C-alpha cells in the first residue's frame, strides 16, 4: 500500500513539475535570430576577441545586425580572414567585396637618433596620458610617443616597441590588420594599409602636418611638404599633398621608387624591396633610405618662416 | 573656523616669497600673445605682420560668447602671426610683437588714484559687464574661464552673493597674498562692481588663516562697506576650488554635474580678477599684466612680479636670479595643479599665477608600489569619490564603470595622488578616464 | 643642465609610503611584544623570531623563485608585519615546525597566491592562524600560564576564554569567579597567545597608529563598541555570560580589533563600509565565543568579514560631494 502511495505521490510531483517547466519554457522563451547560430558555426570559435567583440558569438551577433543594416563593412574576423567572411556573407545573403590583404604600418620614423628627446616624461606609461602634457618628449607635435598603447591594444602580439628607436614595429607575419592599434593610437600614426604585391609597398613614414620649417627643425626624417614626390609621380598621380604631408595611395602606386629618390629628407621608404643597385649615371642622388641625412640645399621649406 | 567638509590634505606651505612686495618686471624684448589664453573659443588675430601696436591695442577679438579678446601689453611691431609653443605644451596660433619703447593707448588712465564706486554713480550692471567683456578679463586663479560669462547666470538661476577667492591654497604661491597687501581698496571696489553687476547685496572674501596680515588688513578696510564680510578659513587644500570654497564660506554644496556653482546662489571670483575688474571698469585698462609668483627652493630671489602678459618665462626667471643649475622641472602654476613646462621660452598668459622651479630631486616621482588599498585616497578626496577605483577602471579602460563611479565629478585637485603611500599615478589615469568619459557623454548628448 | 622633467600634476607628494605605514604598525606592536617577552620569556622570543624570519624567508623565496619578479618586496615591511601578527596569535610553547608551516601558509597561500601585497582577500596572518588552529587544535589551544619562562615544557593552564565558555556550557555563573579581574586582564596577567596578554599596551599602540594617521578610528571603535554593547546585554539578561569589560580585555579581541581587522588590504574602503564591517565582526565574535565550538571567535569573525569586503565596497560608497544638496533638491 505504502509503495503505491509513494508511486502516486512521486508521479504527481513529477507531473506538476513537468507542467511548470513546460509553461515556463513557453513563457520565458528567448527568441534568438537563427542566423546568429549559423554564422557562429562557420567562425573559428577561438574566442580571441581580435575582431573587437566579446568572443565569436558577439561577432556573429554584430554581423547579423550589420547585415540587417545593409553592409558588412568594417567587420572582419582576423583569424579566419577572407574565406570565413565570404561564408558569413553567403549565410547573410550579402556580397562581400574581395579585399586585398592589409597590414598595420607605423607612419613615424622619429627614432631617438632622428628626433632627439628634449624633455623627459615621468608618469603613467600610456600615450594618452602623455598626450595631456602637450607635444610630448620631442619637438614634434605629430610623432610617436613611444609609450606603447598600440602594444597593449594588440591581441596577437604583433607589435612591439623597439628599445633602441623607441618606436613600435609591426610583425607582418602576425599582424591580422584588425586595426586595434590604429584605434588605440592617440595621434593616428598607425594606418592599416594594403600589403601590396609580394608585400612590397611605398610608404611615407611621417605624420607631421606642421609647416616645413618646424617639421624640419625637430626631426631628421620628417616630411616637410616640399611636394617633390608629387611632381615625380605626375604620371600615376598616386601621391597627394595635404596639410604639408605627402600621402601615397597604395592602389595607384606602381612601386617605381622614383619618389624615394626624390625625397630630400628620406621620409619615403620602400618596404620589403631589394636594395637598390648603385646607378653609375646618377651619382648625385644620395641613398636616402640608409642615411636619412640632415637637410641639404635641396630642402625647400614652405614660405612660413 | 570654517572650512569645507569632505576630505582635503595639508601640503607643506613653502610660501618662500610671502611678504615680498610686488615688483614690476622689466619689459621683454619680444612678447608672444597666444590666442588660447582662456577656456572656450580661441581669439581671432586681427593684426598682421608689420603692424604697429601700442600697449592696449587689440590683437585678437573674442571668437564667440565664451571667449575673450586679447590686447597687446607692449608697444612695438608685430613680427609674426603664426603657431608658437605655449604653456599648455601645444603649438597654437599666437601673435609675436618686437618691443619698441613703452607707448600706451590714450584711453587708459594710468594714474594711481583710487576711484570709488560712489564716484561713478552712473555705472549700471550692463555697462560693468560690457566693460569686463571688452577688457578680456578671465578667471585669474588659473581656470581662465571668461568672467563676463560667469556674471551672466543662465535663465532661471539667481545669484545671491559674491565670494572672493583669496584662499591661495596652492603651496609656494603668494601672488594673491601680495596683491591683497598692496591693493586692498581696489580689490574691495572690484568686489562691489561684481556685486552691482549681478545685483546682489552680500559679498564675502574667503582668506585662509596662514595669511593673518591680509585677513587683518582686509577686515580693517572692509569696515566701511557693511555689505562685505571677510571670512577667515581654516588651512586646508583644496579650499581654493570653487565648490570647496562655496561649501566653506556659505555651507552649501554644489550638486554633481551638470549642476553649476550658481545653483547654490554664489558667484566666485578670484582676488586677481577683482583687481583686474576694478582696473578695467574704473581705469579703462584691458587685462595686459598680472602678478605672478616666481619661486623655488633653489631660486636665488623668489619674488612676486607684476609682469606684462606675453613675457617669456625665461626672462622672469632671469629677473629672480637666473635658472639654478640643479633645475629638474619648471611648473607653470602651483605644485598641486600646475602644468610642467616643456620649454622655458613659452610666454606667460592670463592664467599664469606662478612659476615654480623644482630641483631634480624634488622633480622625480618615486617608484610605484602596488596599491595596498589603504583608503587614504578615499579619505583625502574632497569630492567624496574613490580615486583608487577610478584609476583602476580607467587603467583597464572600463569607461562605463568609470562613469557610474562619478568620474566626471573629479576636480583634478591631486589630493589622492599627494596622499598615496604607494606613489601611484592615480590622477594620471583619472584624467585619462575623465576626459574619455566626458567625450563619450558629449557624443551621446549630440546624438 | 639635464633635460627638464615633465609630468602631470600634482608635482609634490605628502611623503607617505608603504614602508612608513608597515613599520609604523610594527612600532605600535613593539610594547605588546616586549610585554609578551616579559610574561612568557624564552618561549615568546623563540616563537616571535621564528615566525618573522620564516615569513620574510618565504616572501623572498616565492618572489624570487616562483613568481620570478625582479623587484624584491621583503623590505617593504609587510612580511615582517605578517610574521609579527602571526606570532601574536600563537601560544608560546608551539613547536618550531608548526610555526614555520603556519608562516608558509600565511605568506604562500594567504598572500602570494593572490599576487602579493595588495591583492589578497584574507588577512595572511589570520589565514595562517586559522589554518594552524584547524590542523593542530591541541597544540594551538594549550596555552602556558603567564609567568612561565621556558619554551616547550612550560606549564599550561586554562585561559579566561575557556573559563567563559565553560560557564555557558555548564550554565554555572560561579565559574566566572575564577576569572582574573578586569584590571589584571587589561595589564596582561593572564594566559593565552602572545598577543592576548596585554590589552593595555595593544591599546596604546592603537592610539599611536591613530595619531600617526596609519589607521582611522572606524574599525577598532565599531568592533569594541559592538562587543561591549552585545556582551553587556547578554550579561544583563543572564549572569552566566561574562562581564563585558572582561570580554573585551580577554583573548585576541584587542589585537584583532586594532591590528588584524584594520589590515588595509582586506578591510572596506569607505568609512560607512568600515563601520558595517566592524559591527559585523563584533557581533560574530560574541556569537562564536558564546555559542561556537572554539573559545576564540575573533579570527573567524575577521576572516568571514574579509570575504564580505568586496561586497561591502560595492554597496558602500563614500558620501559624494553635493549628494545631500541633490537629495534635498529632489524633495
C40-66, pLDDT tens digit by residue?
A: 888 889 999 999 999 999 999 999 998
Give residue-wise pLDDT tens across range B210-255.
999 999 999 999 999 999 999 999 999 999 999 999 999 999 999 8
Whether A128 and chain B come into contact, CB under 8 Å, resolves to yes
The ipTM of this complex is 0.89
Convert the pLDDT of each residue in B125-166 to its tens digit: 999 999 999 999 999 988 899 999 999 888 888 899 999 999
- The reply to whether residue B255 touches residue C325, judged by beta carbons under 8 angstroms, is yes
pLDDT at residue C97 above 80? Answer: yes
| Residue of chain A with shortest Cα separation from B82 | A304
Chain A residues with CB-CB distance to C5 below 8 A: 119-122
What pLDDT shows up at residue A96? 66
Ramachandran angles phi, psi of A126, nearest 5°:
-150, 135
State whether C9 and B336 contact (CB < 8 Å): yes
Note whether A226 and A295 are same-domain residues: yes
Q: What is the pLDDT of residue B283?
A: 93
pLDDT at A290 over 60: no
**Would you place residue A62 in the very low, low, confident or very high pLDDT band (cuts 50, 70, 90)?**
confident
A–C interface: beta-carbon pairs under 8 A: 25
A115 and A183, same domain (yes or no): yes
Instruction: Output C331 or C268, whichever has higher pLDDT.
Output: C268
Q: Once rounded to an integer, what is the mean pLDDT over residues B306-320?
A: 94
Residue B123 near residue B159, CB atoms below 8 Å: no
For position B271, what pLDDT does the model report?
95
pLDDT of residue A282: 45
**Among B88, B365, B428, beta carbon nearest to A134:** B88
Short-list B307, B301, B297, CA closest to B321: B301
A contacts of B363 (beta carbons < 8 Å): 122
Query: What backbone torsions phi and psi does residue A194 show, to the nearest 5 degrees?
Result: -60, 140
With beta carbons less than 8 A apart as the criterion, state whether C57 and C112 touch: no
Residue A190 clears pLDDT 50, i.e. is over it: yes
A129 touches chain B (CB under 8 A): yes
Give the Cα separation of B328 and B344 in Å (integer): 12
Q: Edge-to-edge strand order for the sheet containing B266-270?
A: B228-233, B203-208, B161-165, B266-270
Q: Quick check: A122 contacting B, CB < 8 Å? A: yes
Residues A70 and A139 in one domain: no
Band (pLDDT 50/70/90 cuts) for residue A299 is very low
Mutate to test the interface with A, among C4, C5, C6 (most CBs of A within 10 A): C6
pLDDT of A72:
76
Minimum distance, in Å, between the CA of residue B168 and any CA atom of chain A:
24
Query: Can you give the pLDDT at residue C153?
Result: 65
What is chain B's mean pLDDT, rounded? Answer: 93
The Cα B156–Cα B158 span in angstroms is 7
Q: How far is Cα B7 from Cα B379, in angstroms, rounded to an integer? A: 5
Q: Do A108 and A178 share a domain, yes or no? A: yes
Cβ-based contacts of B345 with chain A (< 8 Å): none
User: Is the C-alpha dihedral spanning A25, A28, A30, A31 positive or negative?
Assistant: positive
How far apart, in whole angstroms, are the C-alpha atoms of residue C250 and residue B113?
77
Chains in contact with C, where contact requires at least 3 CB pairs less than 8 Å apart: A, B
**Rounded Cα gap, residues A259 and B327, in angstroms:** 46
Q: Do C5 and A122 touch (CB under 8 A)?
A: yes
Exposure b/e, A99-121, CB count within 10 A at least 16 = b: eeebbbbbbbbbbeebbeebbbb
Dist CA C263 CA C220 (whole Å): 11
> What residue in C sits closest to A136 (Cα-Cα)?
C6
Domain membership of residue A23 (yes or no) is: no
- In angstroms, the CA B194 to CA B132 distance is 10
Domain residue limits at A252: 200-206+221-305
Q: Which three cell numbers stand for residue B71?
A: 590686447
Interface touch A135/B342, C-beta < 8 Å: yes
Distances in Å between the Cα of A75 and the Cα atoms of A96, B267, B357, C296 are: 11, 51, 52, 61
C-alpha cell at C319: 558620501
**pLDDT at residue A289 is higher than 50:** no
Residue C47: the pLDDT is: 93
Distance from CA of B363 to the nearest CA of A (A): 9
Q: Indicate the residue of B340, B343, B435 with minimum beta-carbon distance to A133.
A: B340
Whether the pLDDT of residue B99 is over 90: the answer is yes
Extents of the domains making up chain B: 23-107+286-360, 117-283, 376-446
Average pLDDT over residues B254-259: 82
Contact C320 B406 (CB under 8 A): yes
Question: Confidence band (pLDDT; 50, 70, 90) for A297?
Answer: very low
d(CA B407, CA B397): 13
Q: Give every CB contact of residue C65 below 8 A, 6+ residues apart in sequence.
A: none
- Dihedral sign for Cα B35, B36, B40, B42, please: positive
Last residue of a domain, one of A67, A91, A115: A91
Q: Nearest CA to B350 among B87, B28, B47, B162?
A: B87
Question: B414 vs C116: CB contact, 8 Å cut-off?
Answer: no
Examine residue A109 and state whether it is found in any structural domain, yes or no. Answer: yes
Indicate whether A134 belongs to any domain: yes
C-alpha cell at C283: 557581533
Is the confidence at residue B338, as pLDDT, over 50? yes
In order of B80, B170, B435, B441, C9, the CA distances from B413 in angstroms are 37, 10, 15, 22, 8
Q: Considering the domain boundaries, does residue A2 fall inside one?
A: no
The DSSP element (H or E) to which A182 belongs, if any, is helix A180-184
Distance in angstroms (rounded) separating the CA atoms of residues C166 and C161: 9
In this structure, are strands B161-165 and B266-270 parallel, antiparallel, or unpaired? parallel
Q: Considering only CA atoms, which of B360, B168, B345, B19 is closest in space to residue C6?
A: B360
Find the range with the poorest average confidence among A119-123, A179-183, B32-36: A179-183
Q: Which residues of C touch B405 (CB under 8 A)?
A: 317
Burial of B82 (0-12, 13-18, 19+ CB in 10 A): middle
Residues of A in contact with C3 (CB under 8 A): 117-120
Q: Do A135 and B88 touch (CB under 8 A)?
A: no
Q: Which of B15-19, C6-10, C164-168, C315-319 has the lowest mean pLDDT?
A: C164-168
CA distance A288 to chain C (A): 31
Q: In chain B, whose CA is at the least distance from the CA of A128? A: B432
Q: How far is CA A131 from CA A150, A207, B363, C6, in A?
A: 14, 16, 20, 12
Nearest to A129 among B82, B363, B432 (CB): B432
Q: Which fold has domain B23-107+286-360?
A: Ubiquitin-like (UB roll) (3.10.20)
3-state class (DSSP) for residue A92: coil
Helix (H) or strand (E) holding A170: strand A167-170
What CA–CA distance (Å, rounded) separates C42 from C50?
Answer: 12
Do the Cβ atoms of A118 and B343 come within 8 Å? yes
Work out the minimum CA distance from B311 to partner chain A, whole angstroms.
20
pTM of the model: 0.87
Closest Cα in chain C, distance from residue B414 (Å): 5
CB < 8 Å to B375, chain C: 216, 264, 267-270, 274
User: How far is C244 from C224, CA to CA, in rounded Å?
Assistant: 10
Mutate to test the interface with C, among A116, A117, A123 (most CBs of C within 10 A): A123
A touches which chains (3+ CB pairs under 8 A)? B, C
Query: What distance in Å separates residue A84's CA from the closest CA in chain B?
Result: 30
Would you say residue A248 lies in a domain? yes
Is B339 an 8 Å CB contact of chain A?
Answer: yes
Question: Across the interface, which of A122, A126, A141 has its CB nearest the CB of B91?
Answer: A141
- Taking the C-alpha atoms of residue C98 and residue C139, their distance in angstroms, rounded to an integer, is 9
Is A280 part of any domain?
yes
* Chain A closest-CA separation from residue B241 CA (Å): 21
Find the CB nearest C8 among B11, B325, B428: B428
Report the alpha-carbon distance of residue B316 to residue B226 in Å, rounded: 40
Question: Would the CB atoms of B329 and C329 count as touching at under 8 Å?
Answer: no
CATH class label, B117-283: alpha beta
Taking the C-alpha atoms of B406, B408, B409 and B413 in order, what is their torsion angle to the nearest 10 degrees? Answer: 120
DSSP collapsed to 3 states, chain B: CECCCCCCECCCCCCCCCCCCEEECCCCCEEEEECCCCCCCCCEECCCCCCEECECCEEEECCCCCCCCEECCCCEEEEEEEEEECCCCCEEEEEEEEECCCCECCCCCCCCCCCCHHHCCCCCHHHHHHHHHHHCCECCCCCCCEHHHHCCCCCCCCCCEEEEECCCCCCCCCHHHHHHHHCHHHHHHHHHHHHHHHCCCCEEEEEECCCHHHHHHHHHHHCCCCCEEEEEECCCECCCCHHHHHHHHHCCCCCCCCCCHHHHCEEEEEHHHHHHHHHHHHHCCCCCEEEEEEECCCCCCCEEEEEECCCEHHHHHHHCCCCCCCEEEEEECCCCCCEECCCCCCECCCCCCEEEEEEHHHHCCCCCCCCCCCCHHHHHCCCCCCHHHHHHHHHCCCHHHHHHCCHHHCCCCCHHHHHCCCCCCHHHHHHHHHHHHHHHHHHHHHC
d(CA B22, CA B56): 22
Which residue among A160, A195, A230 closes a domain? Answer: A195
∠ CA A54-A58-A63, nearest 5°, is 135
A144 and A122, same structural domain?
Answer: yes
Q: Which residue of B has its CA nearest to A139?
A: B342
Of A118, A124, A305, which is closest to B425 when you measure between CB atoms? A124
In chain B, what residues touch A119 (CB-CB under 8 Å)?
A: 342-343
CATH of residue A271: 3.30.70.20
Chain C contact set for B366 (CB, 8 A): 13, 17
Q: Is A302 on the interface with B (CB under 8 A)?
A: no
> Considering its fold, how many domains does chain A have in total?
3
Q: Is the dihedral of CA C6, C7, C12, C18 positive or negative?
A: negative
Name the nearest CA neighbour of B415 among B379, B381, B391: B381
Is residue B247 within 8 A of residue B5, CB to CB? The reply is yes
Task: Let me know whether A116 and A77 are in one domain.
Answer: no
List residues in chain A touching C: CB distance below 8 A: 117-123, 129, 132-133, 137
Distance from CA of B145 to the nearest CA of C (A): 20
Q: Is A260 part of a structural domain of the chain?
A: yes
Residues of C within 8 A of B423 (CB-CB) are: 13, 17
Contact C189, C180 (CB under 8 A): yes
- Which residue of chain C is at minimal alpha-carbon distance from A120? C5
- C-alpha cell at position C320: 559624494
Q: Which of A195, A229, A244 is the last residue of a domain?
A: A195
> From the CA of C9, how many Å to the nearest CA of chain A?
10
When pLDDT is averaged across residues C203-219 and rounded to a whole number, the result is 94
Is the pLDDT at B444 greater than 50? The verdict is yes
A118 and A149, same structural domain?
yes
Q: DSSP character for A108?
A: -
Q: Do the Cβ atoms of B317 and B355 come closer than 8 Å?
A: yes
Integer Cα distance of B357 and A73 in angstroms: 53
CA A247 vs CA A199, A208, B297: distances in Å: 18, 11, 50
Chain B nearest-CA residue for A152: B396
**A153, part of any domain:** yes
Yes or no, beta carbons of C6 and A132 under 8 Å apart: no
Look at residue C33 in the predicted model and tell me its pLDDT.
92
Amino acid at each position: 500500500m505504502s509503495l503505491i502511495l509513494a508511486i502516486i505521490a512521486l508521479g504527481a510531483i513529477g507531473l506538476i513539475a513537468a507542467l511548470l517547466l513546460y509553461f515556463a519554457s513557453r513563457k520565458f522563451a528567448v527568441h534568438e535570430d537563427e542566423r546568429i547560430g549559423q554564422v557562429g558555426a562557420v567562425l573559428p570559435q577561438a574566442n580571441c576577441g581580435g575582431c573587437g567583440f566579446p568572443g565569436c558569438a558577439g561577432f556573429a551577433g554584430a554581423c547579423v545586425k550589420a547585415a540587417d543594416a545593409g553592409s558588412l563593412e568594417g567587420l572582419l574576423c582576423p583569424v579566419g580572414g577572407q574565406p570565413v567572411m565570404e561564408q558569413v556573407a553567403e549565410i547573410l545573403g550579402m556580397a562581400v567585396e574581395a579585399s586585398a590583404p592589409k597590414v598595420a604600418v607605423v607612419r613615424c620614423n622619429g627614432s631617438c637618433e632622428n628626433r632627439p628627446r628634449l624633455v623627459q616624461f615621468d608618469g603613467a606609461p600610456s600615450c594618452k596620458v602623455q598626450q595631456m602634457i602637450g607635444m610630448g618628449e620631442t619637438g614634434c607635435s605629430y610623432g610617436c610617443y613611444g609609450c606603447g598603447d598600440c602594444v597593449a591594444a594588440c591581441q596577437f602580439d604583433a607589435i612591439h616597441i623597439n628599445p633602441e628607436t623607441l618606436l613600435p614595429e609591426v610583425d607582418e607575419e602576425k599582424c591580422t590588420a584588425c586595426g586595434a592599434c590604429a584605434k588605440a593610437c592617440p595621434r593616428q600614426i598607425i594606418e592599416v594599409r594594403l600589403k601590396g604585391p609580394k608585400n612590397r609597398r611605398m610608404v611615407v613614414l611621417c605624420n607631421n602636418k606642421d609647416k616645413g620649417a618646424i617639421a624640419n627643425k625637430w626631426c631628421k626624417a620628417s616630411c616637410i611638404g616640399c611636394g617633390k614626390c608629387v611632381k615625380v609621380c605626375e604620371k600615376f598621380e598616386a601621391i597627394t599633398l595635404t596639410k604639408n604631408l605627402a600621402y601615397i595611395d597604395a592602389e595607384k602606386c606602381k612601386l617605381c621608387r622614383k619618389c624615394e629618390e626624390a625625397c630630400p629628407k628620406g621620409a619615403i621608404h620602400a618596404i620589403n624591396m631589394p636594395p637598390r643597385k648603385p646607378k653609375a649615371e646618377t651619382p648625385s642622388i644620395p641613398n636616402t633610405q640608409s642615411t636619412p641625412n640632415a637637410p641639404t640645399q635641396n630642402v625647400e621649406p614652405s614660405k612660413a618662416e | 573656523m570654517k572650512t569645507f567638509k569632505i576630505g582635503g590634505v595639508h601640503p607643506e606651505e613653502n610660501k618662500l616669497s610671502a611678504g615680498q612686495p610686488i615688483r614690476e618686471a622689466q619689459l621683454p624684448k619680444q612678447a608672444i600673445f597666444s590666442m588660447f589664453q582662456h577656456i572656450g573659443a580661441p581669439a581671432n588675430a586681427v593684426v598682421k605682420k608689420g603692424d604697429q601696436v601700442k600697449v592696449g591695442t587689440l590683437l585678437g577679438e573674442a571668437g564667440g560668447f565664451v571667449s575673450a579678446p586679447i590686447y597687446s601689453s607692449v608697444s612695438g611691431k608685430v613680427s609674426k602671426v603664426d603657431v608658437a609653443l605655449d604653456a599648455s605644451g601645444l603649438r597654437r596660433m599666437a601673435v609675436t610683437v618686437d618691443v619698441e619703447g613703452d607707448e600706451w593707448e590714450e584711453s587708459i588712465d594710468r594714474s594711481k588714484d583710487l576711484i570709488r564706486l560712489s564716484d561713478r554713480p552712473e555705472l549700471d550692471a550692463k555697462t560693468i559687464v560690457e566693460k569686463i567683456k571688452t577688457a578680456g578679463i578671465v578667471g585669474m586663479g588659473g581656470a581662465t574661464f571668461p568672467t563676463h560669462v560667469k556674471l551672466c547666470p543662465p535663465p532661471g538661476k539667481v545669484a545671491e552673493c559674491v565670494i572672493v577667492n583669496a584662499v591661495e591654497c596652492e603651496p609656494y604661491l603668494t601672488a594673491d597674498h601680495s596683491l591683497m597687501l598692496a591693493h586692498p581698496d581696489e580689490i574691495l571696489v572690484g568686489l562691489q562692481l561684481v556685486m552691482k553687476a549681478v545685483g546682489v547685496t552680500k559679498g564675502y572674501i574667503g582668506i585662509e588663516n596662514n595669511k593673518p596680515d591680509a585677513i587683518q588688513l582686509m577686515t580693517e578696510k572692509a569696515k566701511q562697506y557693511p555689505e562685505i564680510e571677510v571670512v577667515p578659513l581654516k588651512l586646508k587644500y583644496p579650499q581654493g576650488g570653487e565648490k570647496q570654497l562655496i561649501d566653506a564660506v556659505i555651507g552649501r554644496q554644489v550638486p554633481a554635474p551638470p549642476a553649476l556653482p550658481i545653483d547654490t546662489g554664489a558667484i566666485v571670483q578670484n582676488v586677481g580678477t577683482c583687481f583686474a575688474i576694478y582696473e578695467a571698469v574704473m581705469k579703462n585698462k584691458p587685462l595686459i599684466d598680472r602678478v605672478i609668483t616666481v619661486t623655488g627652493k633653489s631660486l636665488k630671489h623668489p619674488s612676486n612680479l607684476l609682469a606684462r602678459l606675453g613675457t617669456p618665462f625665461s626672462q622672469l626667471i632671469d629677473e629672480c636670479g637666473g635658472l639654478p643649475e640643479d633645475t629638474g622641472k619648471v611648473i607653470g602654476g602651483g605644485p598641486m595643479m600646475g602644468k610642467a613646462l616643456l620649454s622655458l621660452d613659452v610666454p606667460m598668459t592670463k592664467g599664469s599665477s606662478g612659476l615654480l622651479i623644482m630641483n631634480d630631486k624634488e622633480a622625480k616621482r618615486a617608484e610605484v608600489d602596488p596599491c595596498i588599498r589603504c583608503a587614504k585616497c578615499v579619505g583625502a578626496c574632497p569630492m567624496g569619490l574613490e580615486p583608487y577605483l577610478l584609476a583602476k577602471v580607467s587603467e583597464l579602460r572600463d569607461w562605463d564603470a568609470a562613469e557610474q563611479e562619478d568620474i566626471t565629478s573629479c576636480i583634478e585637485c591631486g589630493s589622492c595622488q599627494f596622499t598615496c603611500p604607494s606613489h601611484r599615478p592615480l590622477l594620471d589615469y583619472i584624467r585619462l578616464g575623465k576626459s574619455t568619459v566626458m567625450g563619450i557623454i558629449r557624443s551621446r548628448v549630440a546624438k | 643642465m639635464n633635460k627638464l622633467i615633465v609630468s602631470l600634476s600634482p608635482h609634490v607628494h605628502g611623503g607617505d609610503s608603504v614602508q612608513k605605514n608597515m613599520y609604523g604598525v610594527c612600532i605600535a606592536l613593539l610594547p605588546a611584544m616586549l610585554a609578551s617577552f616579559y610574561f612568557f620569556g624564552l618561549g615568546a622570543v623563540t616563537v616571535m623570531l621564528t615566525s618573522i624570519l620564516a615569513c620574510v624567508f618565504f616572501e623572498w623565496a616565492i618572489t624570487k623563485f616562483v613568481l620570478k619578479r625582479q623587484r624584491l618586496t621583503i623590505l617593504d615591511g609587510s612580511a615582517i608585519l605578517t610574521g609579527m601578527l602571526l606570532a601574536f596569535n600563537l601560544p608560546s610553547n608551539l613547536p618550531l615546525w608548526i610555526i614555520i608551516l603556519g608562516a608558509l601558509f600565511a605568506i604562500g597561500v594567504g598572500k602570494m597566491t593572490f599576487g602579493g601585497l595588495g591583492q589578497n582577500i584574507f588577512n595572511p596572518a589570520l589565514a595562517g592562524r586559522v589554518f594552524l588552529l584547524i590542523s593542530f587544535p591541541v597544540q594551538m589551544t594549550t596555552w602556558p600560564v603567564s609567568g612561565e619562562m621556558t619554551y616547550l615544557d612550560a606549564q599550561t593552564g586554562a585561559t579566561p576564554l575557556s573559563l567563559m565558555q565553560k560557564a555557558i556550557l555548564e550554565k554555572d555563573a560561579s565559574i566566572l569567579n575564577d576569572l582574573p579581574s578586569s584590571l589584571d586582564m587589561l595589564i596582561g596577567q593572564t594566559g593565552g597567545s602572545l598577543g592576548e596578554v596585554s590589552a593595555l599596551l595593544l591599546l596604546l599602540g592603537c592610539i599611536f597608529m591613530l595619531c600617526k594617521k596609519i589607521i582611522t578610528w572606524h574599525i577598532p571603535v565599531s568592533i569594541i563598541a559592538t562587543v561591549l554593547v552585545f556582551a553587556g546585554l547578554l550579561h544583563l539578561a543572564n549572569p552566566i555570560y561574562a562581564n563585558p569589560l572582561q570580554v573585551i580585555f580577554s583573548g585576541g579581541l584587542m589585537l584583532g580589533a586594532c591590528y588584524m581587522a584594520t589590515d588595509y588590504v582586506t578591510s572596506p574602503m569607505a568609512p560607512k563600509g568600515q563601520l558595517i564591517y566592524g559591527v559585523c565582526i563584533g557581533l560574530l565574535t560574541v556569537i562564536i565565543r558564546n555559542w561556537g565550538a572554539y573559545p576564540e571567535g575573533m579570527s573567524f569573525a575577521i576572516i568571514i568579514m574579509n570575504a564580505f569586503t568586496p561586497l561591502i565596497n560595492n554597496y558602500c560608497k563614500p558620501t559624494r560631494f553635493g549628494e545631500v544638496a541633490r537629495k534635498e533638491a529632489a524633495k
